[in-house]
Structure 1
Amino acid sequence: MFALEEGLQEISTLKRLETLVERNIFAADTAEHIKASYEALNYLRLRHEIALLENGSPPSHFIDPNHLSKAEQDLLKESFQAVNKLQDSTKRHFSHAPF
């Protein structure tokens, strides 16, 4: 939504994020957390979908956390926490709610 508000034309999520930092919409450390979460979630999703396809199953975005290692579960948890912070920030910004 921030990219839309800024009128960004970039297709790449990571490029949009970089541009938002350049425009001082996001702090660099915030953007780095978002980027790390984005990459972690994509890695887990793609690895899961490849495994399904190799086993002859249709791809699915559902990943059972119980099938992940402890480190992967922690990574998933941290990624979701970063996503929640971004969602909260987005809600505050676009609802013009006081901080």
Structure 2
Amino acid sequence: MAEHCHGAGEWEPPAGRFRVPDEWCNPPGRGAGARPTADAGSPLADALLWLNSPGSSNGQCTRGTPGPADPAYGVVTPAAGQWWPDQALERAKNAVPPLTPATATG
């Protein structure tokens, strides 16, 4: 169940590329994971949830550089909690399981 819950999985920074990788800070190439639900499919878990909204920045990451740009993205990332449309799109495109188009009802 763990891999299924983590979207594209944890980010493994390229060895030696970043002095301080900040693996948790806006990790590149990630995707949204399993959708939040109260039906976790396991007697050991009450629910699945997202701890952060896909598209909400973790902050201005510099990965040990003088900044101000995040070298993983090549841009100055938004302040913590700010909406970041490019990251939201990345998380949607890389979602595991894939996102499917919404269907209209009614």
TM-score (norm 1): 0.25
TM-score (norm 2): 0.24
The structure carrying a bigger helix percent of its residues is 1
